[in-house]
Amino acid sequence: MPNEEPTFNEEPIINEEPIIENTELHLNPAPADIPENIEPELNPDEILSSYRLGKGDNISIKVFGEPDFSVTANVSKEGSISYPFLGEIKLAGLTVNQIKQKITSGLKGDYLIDPKVTVTVLQYRQLFVNGEVKAPGGYAFEPGMTVNKAISLAGGFAETASRDEIFVIRDGNKTMTPSPAKLETYLGPGDIIIVKEYKKFYVNGAVKSPGSYEYIRGITVEKAISIAGGLGEYATSWSKIYIIRDRDETQTPT
């Protein structure tokens, strides 16, 4: 349930002349953790070519003309698989191309003259959708999946979700700072999507529909008043507009 709106005195906030004259001034939301790092948008091919395998991935390794060296296996929690003649080999943290090179190097010479190795990921590990969605949790990854698709799998946005505050932690690396994401952002296996609770701003006084509204990044004072229905019948002039930052009613309006 959303919090109750803050109450304000009907009397003017301050008696001195207001200092805001520019309606293009941007509002600040209620306090929020907004990372500054923005990753370049990647396409599905770029994501999968650089993807590093981890626990839960299911892979197929085939050697042309050598069925005894062909296996299908899940990457264990230790990050390895058991492979014929080579025993336990560590795959976690390696790309498909690096795994191919590792198997080829291990077989060449002692076992085969010129092994032709093919490595394919049959099933990727889950990605996770957390935060303000209806059914947070882990979901099967499919190549080409977007943030929008992942949120749909998680039941869609909760009523308290902010469409403007969506972040991704790539490859489940929780030591990384979450990066801002769009609904069209492509995802990779193991990614964690975080949907933040929407932030509010409040419009009070001589407007047609005073109350709380969802904060949209980049919103201006003029836009905020428009969202609140515009100036009311008893509004005076644009020079009588005040902003209280960060919902702190004790601080001096600016």
What CATH number should be reported for the domain holding residue 109? 3.30.1950.10
Task: Quote the number of domains for the chain.
Answer: 3
pLDDT of residue 93: 94
- Give the C-alpha separation, 203 to 8, whole Å: 11
Backbone angles phi, psi at 196, to 5 degrees: -80, 155
Is residue 171 classed as helix, strand or coil in its secondary structure?
helix
Over residues 25-29, mean pLDDT? 57
192 plus 217 within the same structural domain: no
User: Which of the two residues, 15 and 43, has the higher pLDDT score?
Assistant: 43
User: pLDDT by residue (tens digit) across 241-254?
Assistant: 888 876 554 454 55
210: Cβ contacts below 8 Å, ≥ 6 apart: 202, 203, 204, 228
The pLDDT value recorded for residue 30 is 46
Q: Decide if 26 is inside a domain.
A: no
Tokens of 211: 């109350």
Q: Let me know if residue 112 belongs to a domain.
A: yes
Per the structure, the complete domain to which residue 188 belongs is given by 44-48+125-197
pLDDT in tens, 93-142: 999 999 999 999 999 988 899 999 999 999 999 999 999 999 999 999 99
Comparing 20-29, 57-66, 104-113, 214-223, the range with the smallest average pLDDT is 20-29
Reduced to 3 states (helix: H, G, I; strand: E, B; else coil), residue 75 is: coil
Mean pLDDT of the chain: 83
pLDDT for 96 equals 96
Per-residue pLDDT at 38:
54
Condensed to tens digits (0 to 9), the pLDDT of residues 40-82 reads 678 899 999 999 999 999 999 999 999 999 999 999 999 999 9
Last residue of a domain, one of 106, 123, 140: 123
How many of the other CB atoms lie within 10 Å of CB of 7?
8
Of 103, 123, 143, the position where a domain reaches its end is: 123
pLDDT, residue 15, reads: 31
Task: Judge whether 159 lies within some domain.
Answer: yes
* Domain end call among 178, 197, 216: 197
Task: Flag whether pLDDT at 31 surpasses 60.
Answer: no
Q: Which helix (H) or strand (E) holds 211?
A: strand 211-214
Residue 181 binned pLDDT confidence (cut-offs 50, 70, 90): very high
